[in-house]
Amino acid sequence: MRRFRYVLCDVFTDTALAGNQLAVFTDARDLTSEDMQALAKELNLSETVFVLPAQLEGADVRIRIFTPARELPFAGHPTLGTAFVLGGPLQKIVINLETLAGIVPVELEREGAALRFGWMDQPLPAWEPFARADELFAALGVSGSGLPVESYDLGPGHVYVELGSPAQVAALRPDLPALAAITDLGVNTFARDGSGWKTRMFAPSDGIAEDPATGSAAGPLAVHLARHGRIAWGDEIEISQGAEIGRPSTLFAQAFGEGHRVDRLRVGGQAVILARGELQLP
């Protein structure tokens, strides 16, 4: 019988049973890719992480990230959550996590021995207009978008639709099968909410009806807002997500650049370690 230890945590929150759930298998050397995908499907969280020895120079560890349906080259809350899980044992200020999208550094802030906050430097995205915007509006049940509808790719891909108010974002009841037929990208809706931004993200093609906190979408959102003049380059934005599914989350993002050029992208937040366990396989 093979035994594998894992840690369960909630990411982009400082409160247990909120944020986005994550399981991290801290030593996956005896797991095959098929095992990893099957375990991600078994746990049925939005993502599950498997930690392996690093292969690239400069990386501390290598991570593989799986949704219940497929492997992702990069994702935000799994990267930040894994840094919180490994931050104690590794006792590092910056943990360099090797992903399929390259090495992602995560800088951890501490209060005494406790981890308080983490900032990850995300891969820089490419973007383009989204060709099926009218179909997307119909599936979401909205009349249009305040900003151009564009898709961003930084490993996972996301498309963005701006609505007029937080109430409109909260009231969405999208046609999920229609969304899955239109695109395999994460579909992000957002609106200004006071000094911050409210978002919801739907990814039915990945087996995720709605995601409570999407780190890989937070960075491109900051880029999208800066490119189109909603914020200035370098502004730190606060994003609220997940309330509609009972998992309130808070994310922070900063995009640095000029015009339509991105130089650096950071996403930050907190995490809570909830449980530790052992899983047995034949």
How far CA 273 is from CA of 12, 64, 66, 85, 131, in Å, comes to: 12, 19, 19, 7, 41
Indicate which residues carry an active-site annotation: 47
Q: Two tokens at 57?
A: 């120079």
Where would I find the beta strands (DSSP E) of the chain? Answer: 2-11, 20-25, 48-53, 61-66, 71-72, 94-99, 102-111, 114-121, 126-129, 150-153, 157-162, 186-193, 196-203, 208-211, 236-241, 249-258, 261-269, 271-281
Residues sharing a CB contact under 8 Å with residue 219, sequence separation 6 or more, in sequence order: 76, 122, 125, 154, 253, 255, 265, 266, 267
